[in-house]
């Protein structure tokens, strides 16, 4: 399905504006078809074009409707790299946002991640990968423990990374003006290229 994404239409923002606040169930249901057409379907078209540009990005899902109003106000999607390692996309009134990395850990993943961070070679590699991403506009975030995990010294050179129970690189991708054009296709492909070394490290570190 090549060349199907030409940007979100103006109607997408009109629909999302009507979903602002806490609209009742009936009001949301009246907008279901319009939201599907103008908000969700363009996200599907975007990710099909991204997969055409880079077949490594073809394992994706676009979220449907859920009970909570937040899911009506934000259109989400993910591109999977490995179990719990993925690129997440979110479209809303502010445009398109990206969140990539490892989260919602499976059993054993946190322990494997910490072992890789604690090791000199792999841990130093991760720190260097994150240092490359920060100047490119990525915020490094995630779920952090308040204290160091047991058995690890508080003065470890990668103490902050060892406290992570998830690790994410986050940044805005396309403002509302760019979102009206086909620009997000190239922006997602380029972001995936930038993030592939980090996602590869996380996949390798957290997999059995």
In a domain, 80, yes or no: yes
In a domain, 94, yes or no: yes
- CB count within 10 Å of CB 201 equals 20
CATH number, residue 31: 3.30.930.20
Instruction: Summarize pLDDT for 68-90 with one digit per residue, the tens.
Output: 999 999 999 999 999 999 999 99
Residues 64 and 75: beta-carbon distance below 8 Å: no
pLDDT score of 1: 40
Residue ranges in the chain whose pLDDT is less than 50: 1-2
pLDDT score of 153: 87
- Distance of alpha carbon 128 from alpha carbon 12, whole angstroms: 39
In a domain, 3, yes or no: no
In a domain, 30, yes or no: yes
Say how many domains are in the chain. Answer: 1
In a domain, 124, yes or no: yes
- Distance of alpha carbon 28 from alpha carbon 8, whole angstroms: 20
Phi-psi region of 153 (alpha: psi -120 to 50; beta: other; left: phi over 0): beta
pLDDT score of 152: 87
Pairing of β 167-174 and β 139-141: antiparallel
Tell me the pTM: 0.93
Tokens describing residue 93:
């009134």
Q: Domain containing 23: what range?
A: 10-206
pLDDT score of 208: 87
In the sheet that holds 75-82, the strands lie side by side as: 60-62, 75-82, 85-92, 95-102, 167-174, 139-141
pLDDT score of 36: 97
Tokens describing residue 37:
């057409």
In a domain, 2, yes or no: no
Question: What secondary structure, in 3-state letters, does the chain show?
Answer: CCCCCCCCCHHHHHHHHHCCCCCCHHHHHHCHHHHHHHHHHHHHHHHHHHHHHCHHHCCEEECCCCCCCHHHHCEEEEEEEECCEEEEEEEECCEEEEEEEECCCCCCHHHHHHHHHHCHHHHHHHHHHHHHHHHHCCEEECCECCCCCCCCCCCCCCHHHHCECCEEEEEEEECCCHHHCCHHHHHHHHHHHHHHHHHHHHHHHHCC
In a domain, 135, yes or no: yes
CA 117, distance to chain mean position in Å, is 22
pLDDT score of 3: 59
In a domain, 198, yes or no: yes
């Amino acid at each position: 399905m090549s060349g199907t994404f030409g940007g979100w239409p103006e109607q997408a923002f009109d629909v999302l504006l009507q979903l602002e606040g806490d609209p009742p169930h009936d009001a949301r249901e009246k907008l279901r078809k319009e939201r599907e057409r103008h908000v969700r379907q363009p996200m599907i078209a975007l990710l099909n074009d991204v997969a055409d540009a880079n077949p490594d990005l073809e394992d994706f899902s676009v979220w449907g409707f859920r009970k909570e109003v937040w899911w009506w106000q934000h259109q989400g999607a993910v591109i999977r790299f490995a179990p719990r390692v993925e690129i997440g996309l979110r479209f809303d009134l502010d445009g398109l946002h990206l969140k990539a990395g490892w989260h919602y850990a499976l059993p054993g993943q946190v322990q494997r991640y910490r072992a890789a961070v604690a090791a000199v070679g792999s841990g130093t590699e991760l720190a260097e990968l994150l240092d490359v991403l920060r100047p490119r506009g990525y915020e490094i975030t995630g779920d952090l423990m308040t204290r160091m995990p047991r058995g690890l010294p508080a003065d470890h050179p990668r103490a902050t990374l060892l406290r992570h129970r998830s690790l994410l690189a986050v940044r805005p991708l396309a403002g509302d003006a760019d979102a009206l054009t086909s620009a997000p296709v190239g922006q997602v492909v380029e972001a995936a290229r930038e993030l592939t070394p980090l996602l590869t490290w996380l996949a390798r570190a957290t997999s059995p």
